[in-house]
Structure 1
């Protein structure tokens, strides 16, 4: 637009020079010359006015030019004062916030981001993803890991686990959930017996007398023992009401009761817990657990679609639906947001004003000139174009009056 405005001014100058040689040939050329001459005057005047706002025309220190750079500090102070008097007043903020349903808008967006705009879900996903990644990466990992590990260890250390284990075992026995465990133990016992038959045979052979070994009865005795144990275990596996299974369940019930009420057993369990926590192997395991958890969180956070598709996204959608379906909660949220905004205006209004004023004062003349000129944009150049055209029309009118008179 600068080129257009300047080009139009140059064109008017060229027309003026050309018509000076032609105006004696025909009266119409006089009107053209008058238009071009007045257009040059109007264009130059408006170029001077526009330029004088932001800088010295032709770099000449003409008085009352470069108005904005010379007065930038005063402009900053006036802008800050304007904000303070007309925008950052608690009453104005409260009145404005009272017309905004923050809870409703947030609820609709969280429940269905696409309904609030074609890219709502994408913005929400990308924003949540960036925020989660930046938080995880910005924190000191050594310190954060140490805090997490310390919290885990402290929590476990302060929690008496014996009664918890006892209650869990009681609940499992009541619901019959211990049966799969007992079945697994029985299968393990049968497999262990099959894998260690040679040990049973060696024990019988070593403890048998010389007569039994000489007659080979030790081998027969070993077979009988192994077969008897195998049959016993097989019967326990097939019969849920087997007496030995009943004894095992009775023992588990006694253990559950003792874990909750036997002080000596509870003390031994706590001592074992402390010993485990202080074991270097357990510390290494906890460290690895934290690193795995952090790596998993980063993987999820870097994938926006996965982030919102999982439990986190479902939680956000449920939160949005709750905002919409619970009017009392919506009113509470809106009231909280309104009070927070009013409180911020009251508490930080002067700080915001001072920030605006000091920021403008900190700009150099070139920065504020460029920013304001770009903010106004093409309209500045249209002023020059309009001045050129309007000046030309005025010059033509004056020339016409002069001819007629």
Structure 2
């Protein structure tokens, strides 16, 4: 874009600019966007804090100590790294611009972006990159596995609590620490997934739950899921394709893991072990996915169910029979491995009892033969024998 000194501008900074954001801008972004772009960003941020009226770009060029061409290049870099959005309105004699500044990513998010860190290493070299990382990294305590028991203190009146402006504010996503059907490291996934790959706006409860369940069913790691999720996000339309993620997850081979309890394996890995290492068919994978996604069974319950069904159905997974068993177990409230094992043993014992109680009567002539009560056969007469011989001779002719 060609900006003239007489063109006007106004600035707005979304979210404010914290000290941590300034550190991220100067130590991480600056080598990638250039020093001039960093100066332009900081100057626009300063202007946004107090500037409410339109000013000409001649003021901005003077503050930054740069010419229009250098300013244009600096703005292009800021746009490339999504640090600024530009709005323009044409008037009769000049153009009017509004610059909306986005805060830089946090140091943690930046360093977790493979794309940004590759560019950073190319710009700074591996030694300087390690120095920067050692300065920025700080030990933080992980709260995964802990339950937040902080007491809630309400300072607002009941009327204010019921006001629409309060009730509309809700967390973007929330996970239940008691959800035993999902076995996935969300902390690692979120920490290693850049907002440029998976925008925060798309990290809804529904989407994150789907990601965790698919990873649990197919035995996929956070790193694998990050790659798959990136292929299902459209940044232009800001949409997440859940159906595509299901297809990609089913096609991806899970990581090989060791487990002291075979029932804790992912259902796909468990079934593959039951098949002596043979790949699980797409049909069986969809069946397993149905048990996890629609019936809400945990890995352990699914694995016990698969083992039971294979044992009573000649190693076949008939979808109708699987649905029947799953529905029965759901109605019976089977939620844990122990409950599933007890139910499977009960059903096997019941089936065996039914088989032993079946009585098949032997034919009457066999019973009479065993008892020696069969009637003695009569000896054929000479007349009968002659008739048989005559019939045989006719057949020969």
TM range (shorter): under 0.3
Comparing both structures, which one devotes a greater share of its residues to strand?
2
Comparing both structures, which one devotes a greater share of its residues to helix?
1
Higher relative contact order (CA 8 A, sep 6+): 1
TM-score of the superposed pair, with normalisation by structure 1: 0.20
TM-score of the superposed pair, with normalisation by structure 2: 0.21
Which has more radius of gyration?
1
